[in-house]
Amino acid sequence: MIDPLYVLIGGAGLALIWVIATYNRFIALRQYLKSAAAGIDVELKRRHDLIPNLVEVVKGYAAHERTVFESVVRARNAAVAAMGSGSALATRESELMRGLRGIFAIAEAYPELKADARYGNLQRQLADTEDRIAATRRLYNGNVRDWRALRDSFPALVIARVFGFAGVDFEFFELASDAERVVPRVSL
């Protein structure tokens, strides 16, 4: 016959292992979220660094389109200033992508610009960067989904409340849908 004391000790041991494993899962998810957010920041910085070069190349062909260039530069500067600030960052990035729409419209009107090697190279780099941003956004948003699911599901929510994870929330990184349609297309 099994001694009830052994059953009690075994049950307490299993409960302790579960608490430790759940706590460690919260810690790991928080680190994944920080890492994914840093990845987004790196790719957005890369985009922000490419945009002034793109504007300069297009300016050489269409100097009279000054308002478009100024709006893109303003949107880029606002996006750089919003780096790391959650929903404000997504809003600024949406505005920047809408501004880039004007740059691409100008490029369509100038066939010699589309044939320019510098423009083509910058457009390819920007398209590659957009793909990287989309991938890091998916990773980050997947981690946010997992964080929220763990934090809000029973019995893990007990651990979340005890160790202070219940009040911690991460926002999804979402762009305005019209801004997402501005992704540059390479057409040489």
Domain boundaries, the chain: 4-180
- With cut-offs at 50, 70 and 90, classify the pLDDT of residue 75: confident
Q: Between helices 66-81 and 87-109, what is the axis angle to 10°?
A: 160
d(CA 26, CA 150): 8
Residue 82 · residue 89 · CB < 8 Å: yes
Q: 140-164: per-residue pLDDT in tens?
A: 999 999 999 999 999 999 999 999 9
Q: Which of 78, 119, 110, 116 is nearest to 95 (CA)?
A: 78
CA 154 to chain centroid, in Å, comes to 29
Interacting residues of 164 by C-beta distance below 8 A, sequence separation 6+: none
Residue 188 pLDDT grade (very low, low, confident, very high; cuts 50, 70, 90)? very low
| Average pLDDT of the segment spanning 17-26 | 96
141 CB-near residues (< 8 Å, 6+ apart): 172, 173, 174
- Token pair, residue 77, equals 């500067």
Average of per-residue pLDDT values in the chain? 85
Lowest-pLDDT range of 5-19, 134-148, 160-174:
160-174
pLDDT of 113 above 80: no
Burial class (CB in 10 A: 0-12, 13-18, 19+), 25: middle
Whether 187 shows a pLDDT value over 70: the answer reads no
Identify the band that residue 185 occupies on the pLDDT scale cut at 50, 70 and 90.
very low
Q: Which top CATH class is 4-180?
A: mainly alpha
Between 125 and 84, residue with greater pLDDT: 125
pLDDT band for 68, please (50, 70, 90 cuts): confident
